[in-house]
Amino acid sequence: MSVPAKGTPRADAGQLPLPSAASARRRRRPSGEPPPLPRQLNKSGKFWLAVAGLAILFCALLVPSGGLTLRLDEIEGPVLSGLSALRLDPLTTFFRGLDAAIGPVVLVVWWGSLLVMLIWRRWRHLFVWIGTMWLVSNLTDVANQLIQRPRPLTVEIVGSWQGFAMPSRPVAVLTATAVNVLYALVPAGRARDRGKLIAAGVVGLVCAGRLYLAIDHPTDILAGVALGVAIPLAGWRLLVPNDVFPVTYRRGRAAHLDVTGHRGEAILRALHDQLGVVVTAVKPFGLEGSGGSTPLRMTVKSDPETYLFGKLYAITHLRSDRWYKLGRTLLYGRLEDEKPFNTVRRLVQYEDYVLRLMHSAGLPVPEPYGFVEITPEREYLLVTEFFADAQEVGEVDVDEALIDQGLQMVRQLWEAGLAHRDIKPANLLVRHGRLLLIDSAFAEIRPSPWRQAVDLGNMMLVLALRSDAQTVYDRARLQFSDSEIAEAFAATRGLTMPSQLRRMIREHGRDLHAEFTKLLPERLPPIRIQRWTVRRVGLLVGVVVLAVLASQLVVALLRSPL
């Protein structure tokens, strides 16, 4: 696959040609056909939601009528009387102990799970856990007060109890805890399937015990189980789908998605149908250099094999982007006040568009092939040319030719009204003596002059890493004025440099920034990056208030998940 020649005229931006060997017939997805990777509750989720709906309807029917609860008691009474006839002292002691253990067990499980979720930074799982437990707890509490169903009549109650009977709150909370443990801590697959059986066994035993002790009626327990399963299950399936947020104990960035299984198949199907590309393999590629997406190398069916590069974006990346921008706004203020994206589709559209702009401006960026939809509004795959056999600029000797190309890139960016905003060794590749620019995720159209100056400063620092400041400075003066270079180093310092660049400069043990500033005929005062605006102050106050509230919530949650 060749690097496109600079300034080559492009075809219609929406229909860039793919490598001929890879082409296949594109297929439009008819209305009603599910997308490649549908987002779904699954059959069991729908079943439990239906059961919960019925349970709520049933509870609602009981609210206005005390007579109806007595009718139910007449039906359920014989069951409980029959069980009470089987009572044996040791069995009663066992079930009393089991029932008394629900509260402490739920608390201990909560502490353990909280610890695991904190260690593995499963924030989303944690929020869903808290949210679903809160909902189950409050819903059953409100239903208890509304229905006010007494405990079983006619039969002797031999266990401890609290509150009204319908729905059984301890059973609902225990069941919800079991579901949450399974979906927050146990990896999907065989382990989770086995866990479901164990959880069902434990919940079943507790329910049997409560019936034996005549604490609950059978329908109280059924309603409690229905709510305890359905609410958390819907929460996990809809808000933390396993395909997007898999539970895994392998170390790695949370942003990276698993591209095997259903998602892997969906990617192949999407590329075939939407881009007409027959891809035979999809593998993660260069994960260590990427935190905002899942980079992929895709093998195209051809002879010889060729590759495409893909960036898989999901809702997690959208949230990362939001947090990143919030953090930058808090850190810098006005200079970084670009708005976050609302949807994954827009995030990918933007990157694709910027890449096309750079490409049409003649910048040596990978050829964009558009993007495909994996799950509507949740997952998209950006597809570009793959730079095979390329090395990072930090791994090769940088000569004057490469320096000129790097500086030329910045000049082209300026002239096209663009800023790359992430110029670092990992994003500058060298192949056959040609410098290539990748990753336009942070690029900005019509950026501030400060941002453009930072691009120049960072490019000069990167180029000087494997050469020297004097050579880079001398070559820069051929393309930029002294004042532009002075502005670049007045703008580029500290946090305005990508962290990889800062780290490599430290590792080289050189103060490259100081070396450059010594060479400047005029030194400009550092450009102030701290800008205070009403928005920034408001955000800071909001964050502090939220942090205080969150700390109080954490203290309360440590005492009880309810």
Partner 1 sequence: MRRPALLCWLLLLAFAGGCVNSGALAEDVGRLPNCTSQPGTVRRGVLIMAQAVPSAQWLPCIRTVPPGWSFDEIRPRDGEVSMLFSSDRDGMHALTVLLRPSCDLTGATEVPSEHPEMRRFERVTRVSDGYAGERHYTFDGGCVTYRFDLRGTTRAEPVAALSESLAFLSRQKLDQMVRQVSGDRLRLDSN
Q: Binding residues for partner 1, per CB under 8 A?
A: 38-41, 45-46, 49, 52-53, 56, 60, 63-67, 69-70, 73-74, 77, 84, 135, 138-139, 142-143, 145-146, 148-151, 153-157, 160-164, 230-231, 234, 238
The DSSP code sequence of 169-238 is HHHHHHHHHHHHHHHHHSPTTHHHHHHHHHHHHHHHHHHHHHHHTTSS-HHHHHHHHHHHHHHHHHHHHH
Whichever of 66 and 201 has its CB closer to partner 1, that residue is 66
In this structure, what DSSP letter does residue 394 have? G
For residues 402 and 3, what is the distance between their CA atoms, to the nearest angstrom? 16
Which residue bears the tokens 């305005």?
496
H/E element holding 546? helix 534-559
Whichever of 238 and 554 has its CB closer to partner 1, that residue is 238
What's the closest the beta carbon of residue 114 comes to partner 1, in angstroms?
A: 24
What's the closest the beta carbon of residue 561 comes to partner 1, in angstroms?
A: 17
Q: Which residues pair with 372 in a beta bridge?
A: 381
Residue 75: exposed, middle, or buried by beta-carbon count in 10 A (0-12, 13-18, 19+)?
exposed
For residue 509, give Cα distances in angstroms to 23, 392, 413, 502, 503: 50, 20, 30, 11, 10
Whichever of 76 and 484 has its CB closer to partner 1, that residue is 76
For residues 434 and 402, what is the distance between their CA atoms, to the nearest angstrom? 7
Phi then psi for 434, rounded to 5 degrees? -115, 135
For residues 94 and 226, what is the distance between their CA atoms, to the nearest angstrom? 25
Whichever of 50 and 541 has its CB closer to partner 1, that residue is 50
For residue 518, give Cα distances in angstroms to 463, 469, 487, 514: 17, 10, 14, 6
Whichever of 8 and 65 has its CB closer to partner 1, that residue is 65
What's the closest the beta carbon of residue 140 comes to partner 1, in angstroms?
A: 10
What's the closest the beta carbon of residue 219 comes to partner 1, in angstroms?
A: 15
For residues 450 and 390, what is the distance between their CA atoms, to the nearest angstrom? 31
Whichever of 73 and 379 has its CB closer to partner 1, that residue is 73
Residue 286 backbone zone (phi > 0: left; psi -120 to 50: alpha; other: beta): left
What's the closest the beta carbon of residue 202 comes to partner 1, in angstroms?
A: 24
Query: 218, 284, 240, 301: which is closest to 22 by C-alpha?
Result: 301
Instruction: Give the list of residues 6+ apart from residue 60 with CB closer than 8 angstroms, or none.
Output: none
Q: Which amino acid, 410? A: V
What's the closest the beta carbon of residue 533 comes to partner 1, in angstroms?
A: 37
What's the closest the beta carbon of residue 549 comes to partner 1, in angstroms?
A: 21
Which residue bears the tokens 């031999």?
158
For residues 45 and 37, what is the distance between their CA atoms, to the nearest angstrom? 17
Whichever of 34 and 252 has its CB closer to partner 1, that residue is 34
Which residue bears the tokens 């790359």?
420
Query: 384, 383, 455, 473: which is closest to 417 by C-alpha?
Result: 455
What's the closest the beta carbon of residue 347 comes to partner 1, in angstroms?
A: 21
Whichever of 125 and 149 has its CB closer to partner 1, that residue is 149
Q: Give the three-state DSSP class for 448.
A: coil
In this structure, what DSSP letter does residue 120 have? T
What's the closest the beta carbon of residue 179 comes to partner 1, in angstroms?
A: 15
Whichever of 45 and 561 has its CB closer to partner 1, that residue is 45
What's the closest the beta carbon of residue 41 comes to partner 1, in angstroms?
A: 5
What's the closest the beta carbon of residue 84 comes to partner 1, in angstroms?
A: 8
What's the closest the beta carbon of residue 25 comes to partner 1, in angstroms?
A: 29
What's the closest the beta carbon of residue 234 comes to partner 1, in angstroms?
A: 6
Alpha-carbon dihedral angle through residues 557, 558, 560, 561, given to the nearest 10 degrees? 50
Whichever of 146 and 520 has its CB closer to partner 1, that residue is 146
Whichever of 63 and 287 has its CB closer to partner 1, that residue is 63
Whichever of 147 and 490 has its CB closer to partner 1, that residue is 147
Handedness of CA 534, 537, 541, 544 (dihedral sign): positive
Whichever of 128 and 409 has its CB closer to partner 1, that residue is 128
Could you tell me how far CA 533 lies from the centroid of its own chain?
Answer: 30
What's the closest the beta carbon of residue 40 comes to partner 1, in angstroms?
A: 6
Handedness of CA 30, 31, 35, 40 (dihedral sign): negative
For residue 21, give Cα distances in angstroms to 18, 85, 302, 369, 440: 8, 78, 5, 15, 27
Whichever of 19 and 376 has its CB closer to partner 1, that residue is 376
